[in-house]
Amino acid sequence: MTDSTEFINLLKLKRGELIAVTGSGGKTSAMFQIAKEYENRGEPIIVTTSTKIGFPQYDFCSRVVEADLFLPEKEPLFPFPCVAGSIDTASGKITGPSPAYIRDVLWRNGEHTVIYEADGSKNLPLKLYSLWEPVLTGSDTHIIIIISIAPVGKSVKGNLHRLELMAELADKKTDIDFLEYLLIKKDGYLDKAQGKKRTLVINSVNSEQDYNNAKLLADKIKFYLSSTDTGIILRGSFFGCKGYFYGACHAY
């Protein structure tokens, strides 16, 4: 295991990456933590989404711009911009530009580093995927897959987005085997995130019990990762990080 205070070090991210963030239970905070760490290094990065996200809090992103008004070669990239296809002030949501725009206008084959959120989970820590998710560009250099360890021991109901697709589970408790199932099943987290390089981030590791549960899950999942994947990261306040939001301090 490796300790680090920088998420981007553990993820082995470089300049010029096109990074997709998928899954549930911490995607948005992880995305903005990565963006902030790039910025702290003095490296420009563009943040966006291919679906919808809530309008960022100022602490997350102080500069939201619409795609129609944004030309990356002419705009300052400090502080990092959050690029929206449209902004719905009534719902407080940002709709992202198209995957083609993200790939061809923002990223430009590595001219800029871009990170984007590629699916939603209605602020729930677990999810079942719709057929159309995640919304990827097809050229992603790194896909970060987020899953939360927090629901272990709690009811599936209230913690699983699209519960109606598996309504028979509503009264069951979430356990490690269920998280493993969500990750490895057909059309699950791993199956839906096909790309050149992937990292699984087990999120919300905020106590010793969370840590023990996360290690159990990591031990089950590591056999399903390919040789091109960068591995598994445990992320949460248990590790005593002092970074932006709460740091990712353990590579498993």
Domain of 71: which CATH number?
3.40.50
Q: Tell me, yes or no, whether 89 lies in a domain.
A: yes
Q: Is residue 248 part of a domain?
A: no
The pLDDT value recorded for residue 250 is 60
pLDDT digits (tens, 9 = 90+) for 195-251: 889 999 999 999 999 999 999 999 999 999 988 898 899 998 887 654 333 444 565
Poorest-pLDDT segment among 2-6, 65-69, 208-212 = 2-6
Residue 246 domain flag:
no
Residue type, 189: Y
251 occurs within a structural domain: no
Task: Please report, rounded to a whole number, the percentage of residues in the chain having pLDDT higher than 90.
Answer: 75
pTM: 0.94
Count of structural domains within the chain: 1
Residue 39 falls within a domain, yes or no? yes
Q: Which domain holds residue 60?
A: 15-240
Domain assignment present for residue 176? The answer is yes
- Does 3 map to a domain? no
Q: Which residues touch 17 (CB under 8 Å, ≥6 apart)?
A: 110, 113, 114, 115, 141, 142
- Model confidence pLDDT, tens digit, residues 118-165: 999 999 999 999 999 999 999 999 999 999 999 999 999 999 999 999
Query: Is 247 domain-assigned?
Result: no
